[in-house]
Amino acid sequence: MADTATAPRDRAHRASKRYIFAWGDGHAEGHGEMKDLLGGKGAGLAEMTNAGLPVPAGFTITTAACNDYFEAGERLPDGLWDDVLEAMHEVEERSGKGFGDPRNPLLVSVRSGAKFSMPGMMDTVLNLGLNDETLHGLIALTGNERFGWDAYRRFIQMFGRIVLGIDGAAFDEALDAAKRARGAEQDTDLDAAALGDVVDTFKAIVQRETGRAFPTDPYEQLDLAIKAVFASWFGKRAHDYREYNKIPHDLGTAVNVVTMVFGNMGDDSGTGVAFTRDPNTGEKALYGEYLTNAQGEDVVAGIRTPQKIAQLARDLPQAYGEFQGIAERLERHYRDVQDLEFTIERGRLYMLQTRSAKRTAAAAVRIAVDMVEQGIITKEEALQRIEPAHVDQLLRDQFDPKARAAATRIAKGLNASPGAAVGRAVFSADTAVEWAGRGERVILVRIETSPDDFHGMAVAQGILTARGGATSHAAVVARQIGKPCVAGVHELQVNYATGSAAANGLTFSQGDPISLDGSTGEVFVGALPTVSARFEDQPDLQRILGWADEIRRLQVWTNADKPEEAAQARRYGAQGIGLCRTEHMFREGERLDIVRGAILVAFAATRAKTGQVAGGSLDADERSAIATFDEAMGKLEALQQGDFEGIFRAMDGLPVVIRLIDPPLHEFLPNREELIEEVTRLRTLGTPEDDPEYASARRLLAAADALHEQNPMLGLRGCRLGLMIPDFVKVQTRAILNAQIAVKRAGGDPHAEIMIPLVGHVNELKETRRLLEAEAKAVESAAQAEGPISVDYKFGTMIEIPRACWVADEIAEHAEFFSFGTNDLTQMTFGYSRDDAEGGFLLKYVEDKILPANPFQTLDPVIISEMEMTVSKGRAARPDLKVGICGEHGGDPASIAACHRLGLNYVSCSPFRVPVARLAAAQAALAGGERDT
Ligand code: ADP
Ligand code: MG
Ligand code: MG
């Protein structure tokens, strides 16, 4: 918001700092932009007061007081208590009541309020200031005995639970017992006498649980409540929440002390919460609930079923009209959907809270589009309001909203990996594998997961854990393998012995169907129906992304190996293929056998061909090796050419970067240990040497032995493979260029770019290029024999070995484009083997904060520096060098922002991430070009 707010008026204080900001009588000392100091709630109350809205008088004790309190070893800073007393006197004057005055008692609420609204912080204590004396004042003043006793029992209950730390169940049970004894259905059915008895019971509970009488001095109550709010900042749940949401731990919480207004004074009173628009769908209509004759917490506590807010228009039309006007004003003022709390005391409306509303992904998109149309915000602001995670969510399957609304929720935990999952609960990875094997859909439920559970996670529809945060094993692995995951459901009691789990009074056992929403962290009873999310059916999302396209500078390409993937990515808005991995084409069906056949003789055939070129003569074995090899490679060439034609057609007019074969060859062979077992088994059975099965197993094993390497990831792979066995380069070049020629002749517009992996030394690239160009010339002249055609392609390399970054200028002389392979670059810069690290110590590193984040998820600052050096050296040598990224980081919003700042031309990510990347690229452009390291 614009900084039009005036500087806060100073206030006399005894403490060394000014810790208190008060409001009342239409004026506040703070304002809406002071969230750092006043917390969200305090800033909102100040802002509403300044806007002339009806807010009960009160004051905020700042977040600085909280931090200084902990700094001083949990002691209130000197002078602060005097300042609190002073502020209380002011509230007394403004309300005309006295704190602890038995004739005309002032009651207050004590409310926590950090900068960001945070579940897990201290709950609000209402009616503070009540004791046996002030109670009678309250009754006399209101003439409502029942109301007085109800307020008192609520106070003891809340204060006992929240401030004194007594288990709330003790109070709940006592209240239920009182209701049962009197045949009362609802709290409101208890009369004054009954509530008086409840108060006595509650006092006895406090005495029993704390060993002291309930504190009757209002100032002691206040002191204890303030300290309890401070203490809640470091409560476990609040701490975990900050960890997950990356909120710093040193912000502290503010404390708000607010004059009580009473929604429980009869049928002309009530309390409610409302959103200025529907937070589920985004529809522009007041959305919320209220209860007559109730106090704040009743609406959410679910003790009585609240009314829809529309009912208020009939019950209390005047208050409703006023509230509607205020809602409209607040939304315009904050230029965002607001989440409001209000109370009506004998027909008079009071505002108790306003904040930007949390919303579903669907609502976020619709609201942003509507608000642009209604002239409330600009397109740029709309883009900044949508989170990349929202886009991601909208493209995943979701639960049918109606079924979801009617479903029974078991519990809520962390939304660790998005998407909807339905399946039968199983409690071990082995069971998951067994059940999945017979076609069951399962949800793996664990207290927490470890690398030993991976096989179960891989076959499960979703993963549910009771412990662990967003960087726990379950969460990280689930995101990696794209499974929905709800983690850290603290209230879930998992019992492996009985094969069951329970939370909030609901139990499910092995085999029971449950539903997980990884986007919201919710777990439901039963199998909820899902609806698949089609991009084509989401016009609002498409509009927003259209605006993103107007703003972003980075292009968004995709990593796709198949024509269908390419077509899908194109529908999502991909502007090219940044990585087409040819080896994926080697693995399917019949191809694997052809590839294996070629690999078995690859080296022998290559040696023979070299000998032949040098003028030597070939023996029979050599001739046969060459024949076998060439035949297999010829088949592969034809198959690959077909694949490439499909991809070129799907990406007509757009660039397609094809990478030559990259993985070590042993990946195409069966596992070596299994081969050893097989050969040993056949030998022990006395199988004759010429048995075809035995012979083939021996041949494969011999090849696996020959190819065996200690560190395959650092061994014979990437461009090294093409240099050792040049036919790989030649065959793939022919397949690519002949595909291009075929598509061109059919009237298409294919754009081939050939990319060499794993270059570390410029000579590797030069030599590969020489091979490739010779082949390209041959292809061209052969094609021209059939009619005029030109063969044009771009030649470039991946940058994924740290050495290549240092010699990027040399490399750029021979490459028209670079594409950062940040998976390998990270792995080689850190010296981690990704497969070993992510399944093992890396998670622990992140948990223990040895590393701030998983560098395979978000680009590490040092990798960004390497990229920066590469870009500047590369472009110094070749000013029009095109640079992109095709590692998985290309779909990560924070990494996309870094790519924008580095001046890359494009990011390339998996098809499903393309819409997310379009938004993230626009947000990066809006954030400006500055670097933050
Ligand atoms: P939360 O952070 O959980 O929203 P709040 O501090 O907003 O907690 O308060 C919890 C409930 O108590 C809300 O319904 C709120 O409207 C109500 N409440 C808080 N302060 C007062 C007050 N001074 N008078 C009446 N109701 C209050
Ligand atoms: Mg709260
Ligand atoms: Mg609230």
Residue 926 confidence (pLDDT): 96
The token pair at 364 is 């976020």
The 10 Å Cβ neighbour count of residue 533 is: 18
pTM of the model: 0.81
Output the residue whose Cα is nearest ligand 1's atom 9.
Answer: 124
Give the start-end residues of each E strand in 335-492: 338-345, 348-356, 398-399, 409-412, 414-417, 420-426, 442-446, 462-465, 485-487
Percent composition of the chain: helix, strand, coil (DSSP 3-state, to 5)? 50, 15, 35
Q: Give kind and range of the element (H or E) at residue 363.
A: helix 361-373
* Active-site position among 390, 473, 666, 814: 473
Averaged confidence pLDDT in the chain: 92
Helix (H, G, I), strand (E, B) or coil at 904: coil
User: With 70 as the cut, is the pLDDT of residue 395 above it?
Assistant: yes
| Contact predicate 292/92, CB 8 Å | no
Tell me if 126 CB under 6 Å of ligand 1.
yes
Taking the CA atoms of 649, 654, 660 and 665 in sequence, report the sign of the dihedral they define.
Answer: negative
Whether the CB of 107 sits within 6 Å of ligand 1: no
Q: Give the Å distance between the CA of 38 and the centre of ligand 2.
A: 15
Task: Map tokens 């029992």 to a residue.
Answer: 153
Beta bridge partners of 577: 558, 656
Residue 933 has what pLDDT? 32
Q: Could you tell me what percent of the chain has a pLDDT over 70?
A: 97
Q: What is the SS3 assignment for 407? A: coil
The residue among 301, 302, 292 whose CA lies nearest residue 272 is: 292
Any atom of ligand 1 within 6 Å of the Cβ of 339: no
- Measured between alpha carbons, how far is 8 from 258 in angstroms, rounded to an integer? 20
Query: Ligand 1 pocket, 888 CB below 6 A?
Result: no
SS3 at position 593: helix
pLDDT value of position 102: 94
pLDDT of residue 9: 57
Query: What tens digit of pLDDT does each residue of 490-536 get?
Result: 889 999 999 999 999 999 999 999 999 998 899 999 999 998 888 99
Mean of pLDDT values over 360-376? 94
Over range 267-286, report the average pLDDT.
Answer: 92
| Active site annotation includes 249 | no
CB atoms within 10 A of CB 172: 13
Report the amino acid identity of residue 876. Answer: A
The residue whose CB lies within 8 Å of the most ligand 1 atoms, and thus the one to mutate among 353, 354, 355, is 353
148-205, pLDDT tens digit by residue? 999 999 999 999 999 999 999 999 999 999 999 998 888 778 999 999 999 999 999 9
Is residue 931 pLDDT above 70, yes or no? Answer: no
Q: Tell me the CA distances in angstroms from 116 to 43, 231, 414, 713, 719, one per residue in order.
A: 11, 17, 17, 45, 51
CA distance between the termini of the chain: 26
Residue 361: the pLDDT is 86
Tens of pLDDT, residues 883-921: 999 988 999 999 999 999 999 999 999 898 999 999 999
Ligand 1 centroid vs 14 CA: distance in angstroms?
A: 29
Q: Which ligand 1 atom is nearest residue 117's CA?
A: 2
Q: If you take atom 27 of ligand 1, which residue's CA is the nearest one? A: 296
- Decide: 449 and 487 in contact? Cβ < 8 Å: no
How far is the centre of ligand 1, averaged over its atoms, from the C-alpha of 723 (Å)? Answer: 72
pLDDT of residue 385: 92
In whole angstroms, what is the distance from residue 655 CA to residue 660 CA?
16
The tokens 């009342």 sit on which residue? 24
Tell me, what's the pLDDT at 1?
A: 38
The residue ranking higher by pLDDT, 90 or 479, is: 90
pLDDT confidence of residue 3: 41
Q: Which atom of ligand 1 is nearest to the CA of 261?
A: 24
Identify the residue whose C-alpha is closest to ligand 1 atom 10.
124
Nearest to 411 by CA among 528, 301, 523: 523
- Residue 43 · residue 29 · CB < 8 Å: no
Say which of 485, 580, 719, 886 is annotated catalytic. Answer: 886
Within 716-862, strands assigned E span 751-756, 793-799, 817-820
Give nearest CA residue, ligand 1 atom 13: 296
Whether 261 lines ligand 1, by a CB cut-off of 6 Å, is: yes
| Span 406-422, average pLDDT | 91
* 369/382 Cα distance (integer angstroms): 7
Q: How far apart are CA 235 and CA 165, in angstroms?
A: 12
Distance 492 CA to ligand 1 centre (A): 28
Best residue among 158, 297, 341 to mutate for probing ligand 1, ranked by most atoms within 8 Å of CB: 341
Does 586 score more than 90 pLDDT? Answer: no
Does 352 sit in the ligand 1 pocket, CB within 6 Å?
Answer: yes
In this structure, which residue's CA is closest to atom 6 in ligand 1? 111
- Output the six-digit token pair for 716: 């014979």
Residues forming beta bridges with residue 399, ordered by sequence position: 530
Give pLDDT, residue 585: 78
- The pLDDT tens digits for 790-843 are 999 999 999 999 999 999 999 999 999 999 999 999 999 999 988 788 767 887
Q: Is 26 left (phi over 0), alpha (psi -120 to 50) or beta?
A: left
The yes-or-no verdict on residue 930 having pLDDT over 60 is no
User: Which residue owns the Cα nearest ligand 1 atom 12?
Assistant: 296
Please say if the pLDDT value at position 306 is more than 90. no
Closest by CA position to 473, among listed 496, 443, 490, 448: 448
- Give all strands (DSSP E) within 812-881, no chain letters: 817-820
Which amino acid residue places its CA nearest to atom 14 of ligand 1? 296
Q: Which residues contact 623 (CB under 8 A, 6 or more apart)?
A: 608
- Distance of CA 359 from the midpoint of ligand 3 (Å): 16
Nearest CA to ligand 1 atom 11: 296
Question: Rounded distance, CA 185 to CA 203, Å?
Answer: 23
Residue 296 Cβ inside 6 Å of ligand 1? The answer reads yes
Please write the tens of the pLDDT for every residue from 719-777: 999 999 999 999 999 999 999 999 999 999 999 999 999 999 999 999 999 999 999 99
Centroid of ligand 1 to alpha carbon of 918 (angstroms): 40
> Do residues 606 and 725 touch, judged by C-beta distance below 8 A?
yes
- Give the Cα separation of 818 and 908 in Å (integer): 12
Query: Using CA atoms, how far apart are residues 633 and 526, in angstroms rounded to an integer?
Result: 53
Q: Are 284 and 328 in contact (CB under 8 A)?
A: no
Pocket test for ligand 1, best of 111, 125, 265 (most atoms within 8 A of CB): 111
| Ligand 1 atom with the shortest distance to the CA of 299 | 14
For residue range 607-651, what is the model confidence (pLDDT) as tens digits?
999 999 989 899 999 999 999 999 999 999 999 999 999 999 999
Residue 485 annotated to the active site: no
**Residue whose CA is at the smallest distance from ligand 1 atom 24:** 260
**What confidence score (pLDDT) does residue 185 get?**
83
Q: What are the DSSP E strand ranges found in 194-286? A: 253-259, 270-275
Share of residues in the chain with pLDDT > 90 (%)? 77
Ramachandran category for residue 526: left, alpha or beta (phi over 0 → left; psi -120 to 50 → alpha) = left
Ligand 1 atom with the smallest distance to the CA of 256 is: 6
Q: Quick check: 932 pLDDT over 60?
A: no
**56 pocket-lining for ligand 1 (C-beta < 6 Å):** yes
| Residue matched to tokens 């009209």 | 321
Which tokens in the block code for residue 671? 């596992």
| pLDDT tens digits, one per residue of 528-566 | 999 888 899 999 999 999 999 999 999 999 999 889 989
Using the mean position of ligand 2's atoms as its centre, give its distance from the Cα of residue 754 in Å: 57
Q: Which helix (H) or strand (E) holds 168?
A: helix 168-181
Q: Best mutation site among 91, 352, 354 for ligand 1, i.e. most ligand atoms within 8 A of its Cβ? A: 352
| Confidence bin at 2 (pLDDT 50/70/90) | very low
- Residue among 928, 903, 908, 904 at smallest CA distance from 918: 908
Ligand in nearest proximity to the CA of 39: 1
Q: List pLDDT tens digits, range 420-464.
A: 999 999 999 999 999 998 999 999 999 988 877 888 998 999 999
Kind of pairing between the strands at 420-426 and 442-446: parallel
| Cβ of residue 109 lying under 6 Å from some atom of ligand 1 | yes
The closest residue, in CA terms, to atom 19 on ligand 1 is: 109
| pLDDT at 596 exceeding the cut of 70 | yes
- Facing residues of 288 across strands? 274
Distance 517 CA to ligand 3 centre (A): 25
**pLDDT category, 414, cuts 50, 70, 90?**
confident
CB of residue 343 inside a 6 A radius of ligand 1: yes
**Taking 80 as the threshold, does the pLDDT of residue 99 lie above it?**
yes
DSSP assignment of 51-95 equals TT-----EEEE-HHHHHHHHHTTS-PPTTHHHHHHHHHHHHHHHH
pLDDT given for residue 47 in this prediction: 97
Summarize the confidence of residues 400-415 as an average pLDDT: 91
Cα-to-centroid distance, 124 and ligand 1 (Å)? 6
Distance of alpha carbon 490 from alpha carbon 752, whole angstroms: 53
Report how far residue 221's alpha carbon sits from residue 266's, in angstroms, rounded to the nearest whole number.
27
Nearest atom, ligand 1, residue 108 CA: 23
